[in-house]
Amino acid sequence: MSKIKISKIKGNVGAPIGFLVGGLYCGIKRKAKPDLTLIVSEVPAHAAGVFTQNQVHAAPVKVSKAHVKNGKAQAIVASSGCANACTGKKGLRDSEKMTQVTAKALGLKKEDVLVGSTGSIGTYLPMDNVVQGIQKLSKKISKAGGDSAAKGIMTTDIVPKSIAIKVKINGTVIKIGAIAKGSGMIRPNMATMFCFVTTDANVDKKYLQKALKNSVDQTFNRIDVDGDTSTNDTVFCLANGQAGNKVFKGGDAASKQFEQALNYVNLEMAKAIVLDGEGATKFVEFQVNGAKSKEDAFKVCESVVNSKLTKTSFYGENIASWGRILAAIGYSKAKINEDKIDLYYGNKKVVSKGISNGVSKSQIVSFLKKSYLTIRIELNVGKHSDKMMTCDLSHKYIDINV
């Protein structure tokens, strides 16, 4: 299938037809920075959600899993500064209250409100502040509130992350917008991250859930910063059908084009999370080719992007980095033959058939000094491939997390 033309447009989650959004400071964070976000569809929407694979689930994850089960929602309320995780029955009551207060302020049912929280684990939300914040924010949301909404979900992020695109499918213009947060506690199983996606496309609710899950597998489950998986990871998608297209149900060319557009949005947000990795100075993309199976390709990718020795060697621009990559390939539990492995730094082959290819130290250091590194691993034992993105680990990562 040919690629569709995707155009970036102004705005983010407020760009698609029929969405009102905003963010403000309500007093969860100690510093006066936005810590509450609200996204509302003006009409009922189909909804999908993908959540953390950590067995310890934060209260908002538990509540949202129940609310999104019927494939319908009309609003997302999210807070930052407190994860509301490991907070027991009180935490559950607080997340439910966030949905109840939002629903009352907007004239909705609480089941039509999805909730997310991110921040420190084990602390309770200051609910008086949160309630007042929701009530105030519900009166301030607008088409133009996307920037404040993006800032309202940030924690250790340095920059807000957002995007909006338009694409024409079967003659109808479809818009998709997104905001995301994430900087640390990131690994290829989702992360301490949010991504909230809005679209005016008309999408069957069962197909929307399937398309979102597949997209997450190809994007957010292909990034790593520090190898940790959070308790609060959440990706939502609201599709309100206001574009007026013939419903996307999956399996046809139009649905495939919608998937392309959705994947583009999520991949851009996944890249933005890696680029904003805590203390990161380099963006690194690993491509693994020639694996015996798809599972083996994934195992090798996951192993190398999660190698702390490799990541620190990138930061230190250490010539030993390629040896650490081969070690990570070896303990990945994938089926390999070390005598067949080729390793490329950019277009330069630094390892041939498992041993040094004689590339000079100065050439390796010159490559490692770049801010964007592309590294290709050729296993040469099969036909399967995979790709993941990561960053280096610096002294600043420790400073942020001590």
Which residues have a catalytic role annotated?
A: 192
The residues, ordered by sequence, that sit 6+ positions from 230 with a Cβ below 8 Å of its Cβ are 52, 54, 83, 118, 185, 190, 191, 192, 193
CA distances from 274 to 188, 191, 219, 285 (A): 11, 11, 11, 10
Query: Using CA atoms, how far apart are residues 253 and 77, in angstroms rounded to an integer?
Result: 34
Tokens of 54: 């950590």
The residues, ordered by sequence, that sit 6+ positions from 324 with a Cβ below 8 Å of its Cβ are 307, 309, 310, 313
Query: Using CA atoms, how far apart are residues 151 and 22, in angstroms rounded to an integer?
Result: 9
**β-pair partners for 267:** none
Query: Using CA atoms, how far apart are residues 163 and 338, in angstroms rounded to an integer?
Result: 42
Q: Residue type for 344, please?
A: Y
CA distances from 113 to 103, 130, 355 (A): 7, 15, 56
**β-pair partners for 161:** 180
DSSP designation for 142:
B
Packed helices 321-330 and 294-305: angle between N→C axes, nearest 10 degrees: 140
Tokens of 383: 């036909």
Find out whether 41 and 238 touch, Cβ atoms under 8 Å. yes
Rg (CA), the chain: 22
**β-pair partners for 198:** 177, 238
Query: Using CA atoms, how far apart are residues 8 and 355, in angstroms rounded to an integer?
Result: 44
CA distances from 147 to 81, 154, 179, 180 (A): 18, 12, 9, 11
Among 39, 42, 33, 5, CA closest to 177: 39
